[in-house]
């Protein structure tokens, strides 16, 4: 049996985009499991991001905003930065890991429709690219 490939989704605040991407990978990509983290984590999940994931039926209570130091020593097969700031400030991981950048506009502070757009964009753009990078 093949072990699941591990993916880290990295952004600045770890409150919207990275949490949405983490939840989608865990829900929809067979053969992959995901964590998310922030370069400067906000410490909270955006209420609209949580509401959206609950409505989609893929919210898990263990999803929370966390800082990079909580995951830096984990083994990842792939790190995906989802905002420019995280891409520019992505730390060097102790273990050699592939890092790719797939940028999304931050819906934080915008209306609920912006979160729906971000969710759809992540599903259409990020999921297929992660699948391809991991060969799953």
- Please identify every residue annotated as catalytic: 11, 83, 90
Question: Of 2, 4, 6, 1, which Cα lies nearest the Cα of 80?
Answer: 6
User: How far apart are alpha carbons 54 and 64 in whole angstroms?
Assistant: 14
Question: Of 39, 29, 24, which Cα lies nearest the Cα of 99?
Answer: 39
User: How far apart are alpha carbons 90 and 45 in whole angstroms?
Assistant: 21
List C-alpha distances in Å: 49 to 35, 84, 90, 110: 16, 20, 23, 11
């Amino acid at each position: 049996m093949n072990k699941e490939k591990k993916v880290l989704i990295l952004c600045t605040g770890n409150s919207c985009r990275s949490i949405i991407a983490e939840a989608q990978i865990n829900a929809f990509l067979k053969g992959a499991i995901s964590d998310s983290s922030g370069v400067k984590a906000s410490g909270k999940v955006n209420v609209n991001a949580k509401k959206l994931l609950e409505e989609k039926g893929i919210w898990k209570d263990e999803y929370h905003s966390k800082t990079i130091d909580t995951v830096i020593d984990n083994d990842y097969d792939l790190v995906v930065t989802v905002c420019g700031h995280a891409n520019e400030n992505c730390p060097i991981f102790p273990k050699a890991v592939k890092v790719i950048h797939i940028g999304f506009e931050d819906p934080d502070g915008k209306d609920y429709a912006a979160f729906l757009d971000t969710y759809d964009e992540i599903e259409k753009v990020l999921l297929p690219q992660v699948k391809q990078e991991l060969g799953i």
